[in-house]
Structure 1
Amino acid sequence: MTTITFVLFPGVTQLDFTGPAQVLSRLPAATPVIAARSLDPVMTDCGFEIVPTATFQDAPRADILCVPGGHGVTGALAHAPTIEFIARQAAQARWITSVCTGAFLLGRAGLLAGKRATTHWAYAHLLPLVGAVHEQARVVEDGNTITAGGVTSGIDFALTLVAREAGREVAEQIQLGLEYDPAPPFDAGSPAAAGAERTRSVKERVYDAAAARMAAALKAGQ
């Protein structure tokens, strides 16, 4: 039996969690655990709630630890029980993983020092604040640590991890079952594809202030 523990916090980006969960829950003999501060529903960035299945106090030992991201990461960085839970679970996990800005929670728990890692493109310049070396890729593996880029990269990371755990054939069967065959209507899913002007506009409108808040939260814990 493989216990896959997802860490939730208020303001989590739901696809950071649900994308990998959809894939990893199909891993043979998988048991997903959704851990949070309490069993109260956790509000996502989409305006709906997810109900945890365990608390930080009673969650079982994780074989695979997955930490999603979201704007709520800045608050979670200052919540000692969340960071302590991540560190405690990571000490025994086979795989330590994150999606998007969840990388900074791994970093705050001391799990990215000297490691190659990735995160959402708008926050990648902050990875050195947690001792990580940024590698520009959707999925970055360094030992038993796997970090994924922004949001949808979590599906790619999960399939990568399934292949590591159960083999490529199983991963490809899951991919087929989910009909994960991306063919987006627009070619604007990365800064390189979107172009400098569009990237600048999105950064200024959405991410510059958010990245500044993240930087402040990271520096406050140093």
Structure 2
Amino acid sequence: MRNETTIPESVSKKRFVVGMVIFDDMTNLDLVGPMDALARIPAVDIKLIAQSSELITTDSGCRVVPDVTFVDAPSLDMLFIPGGPGINKLLLDENTLGFLKKAGTSADWVTSVCTGALALGAAGLLKGYKATTHWTCRDLLPIVGAEPVNERVVIDRNRITGGGVTAGIDFALYLIAHLWGKDRAQMIQLGQEYNPAPPFNSGSPDTAPDNIVEKFLKVSERNTKARKEALLSLNQVG
């Protein structure tokens, strides 16, 4: 984990507002993993923020109710955005990118998990920062001016990015340890019984069998290509 940052005074405040941007076709665990851990901190006030007050449907069919919209969102101590198939539309959505840019400029912390980093980048929030994202899209980060790092969690000043999906739990624990202390993070980890023992060593392209990596790249090729084209088009407009 890259850690190049200082902790702002907002962490010591009684109320720490975390704005989590939600959208159709986001990935459940990208949101729920970090949210579950952060919700264990008494000072944290989580707000689920969406373009409208309508229900959000995730990529697995779960329904999520926004707390506030872009228009009435409060001032944030931390901005967070998950990833998922729906990120493709967000990369071309001026309303969402505008909100991210505005909220990210004023927030003490700007964060993401998985392909949420691409949306931060499209909003101009990762220029000059080290970052990570889902492994299939890590090489797209330079398009938005970020330096890709092959790690589960990357902290560069006040930018914190997590890798794909399950890395969101690691992201949250690193964040909690960084802001509220290792003891608090370890208590939460123990309460969650987060002690991974996967049946296969296929959680990374570095360890998964070559044929599995090739199959996954094939099924994800269209999504990755669409994301690259969207980011390149934004650069051309800029």
TM superposition score category, shorter chain reference: over 0.9
Q: Give the deviation of 1:129 after TM superposition.
A: 0.9
The partner residue of 1:133 within 119, 124, 147 is 147
Instruction: Find out whether 1:27 has 2:24 as its counterpart.
Output: no
Runs of 4+ in 1 over 4 A off after TM superposition: none
In structure 2, distance between residues paired with 1:25 and 1:52: 16
Q: Give the deviation of 1:9 after TM superposition.
A: 1.4
Secondary structure of the structure 2 residue equivalent to 1:193: coil
Indicate the RMSD between aligned Cα atoms, in angstroms: 0.9
Q: What is the aligned partner in structure 1 of residue 130 from structure 2?
A: 116
Q: What is the aligned partner in structure 2 of residue 199 from structure 1?
A: 213
**1:1-222, aligned counterparts within 5 Å?**
1-204=15-218, 206-222=219-235
Q: Give the deviation of 1:10 after TM superposition.
A: 1.4
In structure 2, distance between residues paired with 1:130 and 1:196: 29
Q: Give the deviation of 1:109 after TM superposition.
A: 1.1
Secondary structure of the structure 2 residue equivalent to 1:209: helix
In structure 1, distance between residues paired with 2:155 and 2:43: 23
TM-score by length of 1: 0.97
Q: Give the deviation of 1:75 after TM superposition.
A: 0.2
In structure 1, distance between residues paired with 2:207 and 2:213: 9
Q: Percent identity?
A: 44
Secondary structure of the structure 1 residue equivalent to 2:189: helix
Q: Give the deviation of 1:198 after TM superposition.
A: 1.5
* Unpaired segments ≥5 residues, structure 2: 1-14
In structure 1, distance between residues paired with 2:119 and 2:228: 13
In structure 2, distance between residues paired with 1:201 and 1:35: 35
In structure 2, distance between residues paired with 1:189 and 1:97: 22
| Matching residue's letter, 1:132 | A
In structure 2, distance between residues paired with 1:70 and 1:192: 22
Q: Give the deviation of 1:203 after TM superposition.
A: 0.6
Secondary structure of the structure 2 residue equivalent to 1:191: coil
In structure 2, distance between residues paired with 1:195 and 1:133: 27
| Matching residue's letter, 2:118 | F
